[in-house]
Amino acid sequence: MPFSNTKVTLHYFVIPTAKPTMALGENVNLMLKDSGLTYEYLRHTREEWLELKKKMAEQNIYASTMPAVEIDGKFYAKTLPTMRYLSCKLGKYGGSDDEQRHYLDTLADTCSDWFHSYRQFFRGGEEEALKKHVEEDTKKFLGIFENVYGVNDGPFILGSEISYVDFLVYHNMDDDRALDLAKTYTNLARFIEAIQQRPNLSEYFTSLADAE
C-alpha cells in the first residue's frame, strides 16, 4: 500500500467554539480516513501555526496555509492541490483519464465557490441574511450537484468509484448546514447514503452524530 512505511500528518487550525469538522481541514481528513491510510491529525493554535509556517517557508512554500499534509517531513499545502497529489500517490480518487481529471477539476472549483458563499455564516448570522443565502446560494449549488450526480450510473460523481470531489461535496453540504435539505434531492440523497456507509467512514460519521 502507498505510504506503508511513511509518517503522514495532517495539519489544521484549532477553531475555538466550533465543531471539530468545520472548514477546510475536514475535506482532507475524510479522504485520508476513507483511504485506510495510517496518519496523525494535528490541530494547531495560532502560535503553533506561526512556527509551522516557518518550517514550510524553509521548504520554499511561501503561500503557506492549512490544511497541509506532511509526509516524512515534507509539506504539501493548500486543500485542492494536496487532495490531487494524494490521489495520484494513492492511485485512486483522481479519475482514470484526462477527461475525468478535467471534469473533477471543474467540479472542485465549483466546490470552492460554494465554500466561499457560506464561510461568512460559520458563526451564524442575521436570520434574513441566512434565509437569503439558502435561497440564492445553497439551493443553487445543491441543484448543480443534483444534476452532476445524475450523470453517471452510481452514487458517486464518476459512478461506482468515489473521487476526491465527492468528499468536497459532502463536506460542503455539512458545513453549509444543508445535509437535511440535500436529502430531499433524489441523487444527492443516494450519494449521502452511499458515502455515509463507506467502510472506513461509517463509524466516524456515527461518532460525529453522537457527539452533537
Confidence of residue 4 (pLDDT cuts 50, 70, 90): confident
Q: How would you classify residue 153: left for phi > 0, otherwise alpha for psi between -120 and 50, otherwise beta?
A: beta
Q: Which residue has the cell 494535528?
A: 42
Q: Describe the crossing of helices 186-196 and 164-175 by its angle, rounded to 10 degrees.
A: 110
Q: Write the pLDDT tens digit of every residue in 114-137.
A: 999 999 998 888 899 999 999 999
Give the cell for residue 174.
455539512
Domains along the chain with CATH numbers: 8-90 (3.40.30.10), 98-202 (1.20.1050.10)
Q: Write the pLDDT tens digit of every residue in 33-87.
A: 999 999 999 999 999 999 999 999 999 998 789 999 999 999 999 999 999 999 9
Confidence of residue 17 (pLDDT cuts 50, 70, 90): confident
